Amino acid sequence: MDLPVVHTIAVYCTHHTDMELARLPTGLNDRRVSRIKAAAIHLLISLGIAALAAALVFGIWYPYPYREISGGRELFFLVVTVDVIMGPLITLTLFNPKKKSLELRVDLTIVAILQLLALTYGLWTVYEARPVHLVFEGDRFRVVHAVDISTDLLQQVPQGINALPLTGPTMLGLREFRDQNEKMQYTMAAIQGVQLAFRPDLWQPYSASVSQVLKASKPVSELTARFPKRASNIEAVLSKVGRNGLSANYLPLIGRDKFWTAFLDPVTAEVIATMPLDSF
């Protein structure tokens, strides 16, 4: 196509577009811009509140690695994403600068209340599902969540142990069975889904279980021999905490439908690192 022809078409289209835009109602454009600005401001406020909620959830209730082991990250983002999107979308729909000031304030107040109620309910759900203990359970660690503990058993928590801490999971162990009848009863209950770690009447301070933990744990060299393809990953995890395979033991770690590995100090049984590896 010749350049003069292209130039003529471009001039025509530009002139035609300008004429069409000139015929659009100015008030309609203004209302659209106002709605978009109001929704954008609402979105920024919502993101700020979501950031504060994230600090609470991931800084206190679900510190690493529990945000992954216990599904806290997925649950939080599901709740917050819906809430953050819902508010600005409603504002985009309802906002009209031609409304009276009082009417507009009422509309926005109702939207804010609905959004805060939804966020509160979502955070309550995340709170109820939070991890409260990491319990040594014979030959493994198991993460115990608040919802895992029957309210009927909360009265049987040993003195000195906080059953439902608010500041992240604590380390616990399990006492020995008093007799064979108790062992059989609790073992059958575990088969039915009430894991031993979920029973507060069996809890004891972690310090009382250190010898059993060290006896059950195995050297990391055995783990790298079992998973040679993951050996470099294992060494990388340990190097971040200033350790190597010769100065750490390991035990399997069970979360909410996830299987990880916990690395331990071979003397104190302190958990020094974790990684997503099924070491059973």
pLDDT in tens, 20-49: 434 445 555 566 777 788 888 888 988 998
For helices 26-56 and 72-94, what crossing angle results, to 10°? 160
* Alpha carbons 36 and 25: distance in angstroms, whole number: 17
Q: What is the 3-state secondary structure (H, E, C) of 21-59?
A: HHHCCHHHHHHHHHHHHHHHHHHHHHHHHHHHHHHHHHH
pLDDT in tens, 99-130: 777 887 888 888 888 888 888 888 999 999 99
Q: Give phi and psi for 276, each to the nearest 5.
A: -75, 85
Please classify residue 210 by burial: count the beta carbons closer than 10 Å to its beta carbon, then call 0-12 exposed, 13-18 middle and 19+ buried.
middle
**Is the confidence at residue 67, as pLDDT, over 50?**
yes
With b for 16 or more beta-carbon neighbours within 10 A and e for fewer, the 168-196 pattern comes to: bbbbbbbeeeeeeeeeeebeeeeeeebbb
* Alpha carbons 107 and 101: distance in angstroms, whole number: 10
User: Cα-atom radius of gyration of the chain, to the nearest Å?
Assistant: 29
The answer to whether the CB of 13 falls within 8 A of the CB of 5 is: no
Contacts of residue 118, Cβ cutoff 8 Å, sequence gap at least 6: 82, 83, 86
Classify residue 99 by its DSSP letter. S
Q: How many CB atoms lie within 10 A of CB 38?
A: 19
Query: Per-residue pLDDT averaged across 48-57, rounded?
Result: 91
Q: Quickly state the pLDDT bin for 3 (edges 50, 70, 90).
A: very low
Higher-confidence residue of 132 and 30: namely 132
